[in-house]
Amino acid sequence: MVGRTIAVRYELTASIADGPIFDFYAAKDRLTGRVYGIRLIKEPFNSQGPFISALAKQIAPLAENSPYIERIDELIESDGTHALIGELPKGSLLQERIKRFAPFSVAVALSTAVAVCEGLVHLHRSGLVHGDVGAHNVVATHEGGAKLQLAGVWRTYATSDRAGLAVLPQMAPYLAPEVGAGAAPSVQSDLYSLGVILFQLLTGRLPYQGETPIATIQKHTHSPVPSARGLNPSVPAGVDKLIQTLLAKKPSERPVTSEDCLGELRKMEDALRFGRSIPTKSDAPKGTPAPPAPEPKPVSKRLKGQDQAPKDVAPKMSAIRDAKEDRKRRTKERDVPVWFLGFALFMVVAGVGAVMAWWLYTIQKPRLVEVPSFTNQSYEEAKATGKKLGFQVRILSKEPNDKVEIEKIVRSLPAAGEEVREGGNVGLVLSTGPRIVTMPNLKGLTMDQARIVLSRLNITLSDSPVRAIDNVNPPGSIVKQLPEATKRIDRAVQVRLWIAAPPGAGNELLPGESSEGPKAFAYAPVFQVDGTTKNVRVKIMVLDEKDPRTIFDERRGPGEKIPLRFVGFGEKVTCRVYYDEEFVFEKEIEPNYQPQ
């Protein structure tokens, strides 16, 4: 298939993944030279009209650029083959990383969970549910983030009599108990799946794994929640407690929103980064590993070769079976395994139940309202309009825009002209003004004055100035700035400032300084390229009390030493090392001295 051209312009250059419904390829656009991700739809789904029509509707909200959600631009047809055209995320499937490197350190696991949860927050604020969260649908990006794939596409599966059966093996390990029982996916079921991923990252194994997809679903429903700490004693009790909460059997016992979950994950990540203990409600003594969960009992006798089917999976299956002797006779005549027939019957019953549940939901759901254009309006104006039409508006994000004023609306999701149900949510993207601006001259100003000047341009100012010994300028006045005055800069660049400090100022606060802000320290670690026999691209990232950033990105050979000098914020920082975009290790570094 590699080398084939789709729709005259897209040349398939590499196979990325082979799934039950889609074959995923990297492709080069012959017209523009850009690289895309293309999913070719497999048979029989490629030939099923209802499936293709439903898929076209479900990908409509995925056409926006987002750091958390994989963008899908369109569904095309070429020579009888249907394909999804979208971005090619830079990274690798989390599923593959877990196979190769798990269990991960607690810091890496929490960082990955935060990135996945950020994607869920983005979706849930838009009124969307992912429905198929799992390591098979998460791309771990090179920058340490994550992108969710195929969000909401689960709704398409109900239009095909074979799609559910095809995707069940990969979905079952992440399926919340209520979804396995026939309920529609929800915010809480997405969070349950996140709990499975976090458990996987920390232990290298799934919390529930049966011999068949049905057996796995039954374990989610009936088996006790295993302890990640019992399998990996380095897992803090607080993290283990959060996993237990996410994997609660009842949706009401899980976090109410993905924002709540993200807040907890970030608190734990910050506590770990700054050397504080992770908070927990557990009464277990600090440092004492939780006992491993007892081995769950077999869920159904059928899994052990006996005849009784799992009652909770398909309670009516026993009513349509023949007597035991007659069943044995028919089995011999058909020469088909009984477990396979049971599985097929379960899928039929589950499919009928899903269709009935969907029909009941459809006739009871609120009416549709057309979303008006909010472009160039303020948030308050949009809020008032939404209230009149019966829906709520929320700010999704902010982005630079050369045509729309600061704090005015750039676009909405769903977009203008599309429909949303009464009581639903419409997400808004606000403008931060033009991306490129001229840097003003801040020398001689105080920190407070500089904040006022920069706020008018919507530029971010570092909260912690660096002291510079100075006998000439007034204490606390700005004597140096980066970027320098009159330079054209991107708004996203953080401005660094140096303020005058008289000799002997000691620890007393100067005008514009804050006792709460992170302090700057000088770091000078030396890394050596180990564990490889060839030249590799070495990338080193710094994680401190500011935003993560890359401080080194060059090719180096085996055994080569890499001396670094950089300014970090906080008395300890973490350096994360990658070879050819694959995570290798991370190391906590202590400072050489604090710059004055």
Cis peptide before 285 (omega within 30 of 0): no
Q: Which long-range contacts (CB under 8 A, 24 or more apart) does 47-50 make?
A: 48/159, 48/160, 50/159, 50/160
Cβ pair 539, 578 in contact under 8 A:
yes
- What pLDDT does residue 543 have? 85
Please tell me the CATH code under which domain 520-589 is placed.
2.60.40.10
- What pLDDT does residue 202 have? 95
Higher pLDDT, 177 or 78: 177
Cβ pair 441, 474 in contact under 8 A:
no
Distance CA 32, CA 38 (A): 16
Instruction: For residue 524, give Cα distances in angstroms to 212, 543, 551, 594.
Output: 53, 15, 12, 12
The lowest-confidence range among 24-33, 173-182, 247-256, 454-463 is: 454-463
Q: E strand or H helix at 67, and its extent?
A: none
pLDDT over threshold 50, residue 559? yes
- Name the CA dihedral angle for 60, 66, 71, 73, rounded to a multiple of 10 degrees: 60
Contacts of 407 (CB under 8 A, 6+ apart): 378, 379, 430, 431
Residues 409-435 have pLDDT tens digits of: 988 878 888 888 787 788 888 887 887
> What average pLDDT does the segment 194-211 reach?
95
Tell me the backbone φ, ψ of residue 83, rounded to 5 degrees. -145, 145
pLDDT over threshold 90, residue 372? yes
495 forms beta bridges with: 461
Distance of CA 87 to the CA centre of its chain: 16
Domain ranges of the chain: 5-86, 93-273, 317-364, 368-431, 436-501, 520-589
- Crossing angle of helices 258-273/187-203, nearest 10°? 30
Provide the b/e sequence for 506-522 (b: ≥16 CB within 10 Å): eeeebebbeeeebbbbe
Higher pLDDT, 551 or 338: 551
Residues 52-75 have pLDDT tens digits of: 999 998 888 888 888 899 999 999
Residues 475-501 have pLDDT tens digits of: 889 999 988 999 888 776 778 888 888
Cβ pair 519, 464 in contact under 8 A:
yes
Residues 441-473 have pLDDT tens digits of: 999 888 878 887 887 777 777 667 888 888 888
Fold agreement (93-273, 520-589)? no
- What pLDDT does residue 176 have? 95
Residue owning tokens 């477990």: 339
Structure tokens at 396: 């999704």
Q: What is the DSSP letter of 317?
A: G
Cβ pair 405, 458 in contact under 8 A:
no
Rg (CA), the chain: 28
> What average pLDDT does the segment 165-194 reach?
93
- What pLDDT does residue 151 have? 92
Instruction: For residue 375, give Cα distances in angstroms to 14, 402, 540.
Output: 40, 13, 40
* Pairing relationship of beta strands 466-469 and 566-569 according to DSSP bridges: unpaired
pLDDT over threshold 80, residue 305? no
- What pLDDT does residue 566 have? 77
Higher pLDDT, 346 or 415: 415
Q: What topology is assigned to 436-501 in CATH?
A: Trypsin Inhibitor V; Chain A (3.30.10)
The lowest-confidence range among 206-215, 223-232, 263-272, 429-438 is: 429-438
pLDDT over threshold 90, residue 191? yes
Q: E strand or H helix at 401, and its extent?
A: none
Instruction: For residue 563, give Cα distances in angstroms to 54, 337, 530, 543.
Output: 55, 64, 15, 18
Q: What is the mean pLDDT of the chain?
A: 81
- What pLDDT does residue 553 have? 86
- What pLDDT does residue 153 have? 92
Q: Which CATH class is domain 93-273?
A: mainly alpha
> What average pLDDT does the segment 171-181 reach?
93
Burial of 70 (0-12, 13-18, 19+ CB in 10 A): buried
> What average pLDDT does the segment 348-360 reach?
59
- Statement: 5-86 belongs to CATH 3.10.20.740: no
Q: What topology is assigned to 368-431 in CATH?
A: Trypsin Inhibitor V; Chain A (3.30.10)
CB 287: neighbour CB atoms within 10 A? 9
Q: Which amino acid, 260?
A: D
User: In 3D, which of 68, 74, 198, 50 has the Cα closest to residue 124?
Assistant: 68
> What average pLDDT does the segment 388-393 reach?
88
- What pLDDT does residue 298 have? 38
pLDDT over threshold 70, residue 345? no
pLDDT over threshold 60, residue 253? yes
- What pLDDT does residue 133 have? 96
Length of the chain: 596
* Pairing relationship of beta strands 573-579 and 582-589 according to DSSP bridges: antiparallel
- What pLDDT does residue 364 have? 52
- What pLDDT does residue 245 have? 96
- What pLDDT does residue 586 have? 84
User: In 3D, which of 235, 239, 299 has the Cα closest to residue 267?
Assistant: 239
Cβ pair 199, 243 in contact under 8 A:
yes
Alpha helix (H) ranges present in 335-435? 338-364, 379-389
Contacts of 447 (CB under 8 A, 6+ apart): 465, 476, 478, 497, 499, 511, 512, 513
- What pLDDT does residue 310 have? 36
The lowest-confidence range among 99-113, 144-158, 329-343 is: 329-343
pLDDT over threshold 50, residue 87? yes
Cβ pair 522, 575 in contact under 8 A:
no
* Pairing relationship of beta strands 91-93 and 146-148 according to DSSP bridges: unpaired
Provide the b/e sequence for 206-234 (b: ≥16 CB within 10 Å): bbbebebbbbbbbbbbbbebbbbbebbee
- What pLDDT does residue 333 have? 43
Q: What is the DSSP letter of 64?
A: S
% of the chain residues with pLDDT over 70: 81
* Pairing relationship of beta strands 35-41 and 81-86 according to DSSP bridges: antiparallel
pLDDT over threshold 80, residue 390? yes
* Pairing relationship of beta strands 425-431 and 392-399 according to DSSP bridges: parallel
Cβ pair 346, 314 in contact under 8 A:
yes
The lowest-confidence range among 105-114, 165-174, 424-433, 455-464 is: 455-464
Q: Which long-range contacts (CB under 8 A, 24 or more apart) does 72-79 make?
A: 76/6, 76/7, 78/6, 78/7, 78/8
Higher pLDDT, 288 or 124: 124
HSE-up of 488 (CA within 13 Å, CB side)? Answer: 3
Cβ pair 416, 372 in contact under 8 A:
yes
Q: Which amino acid, 535?
A: N
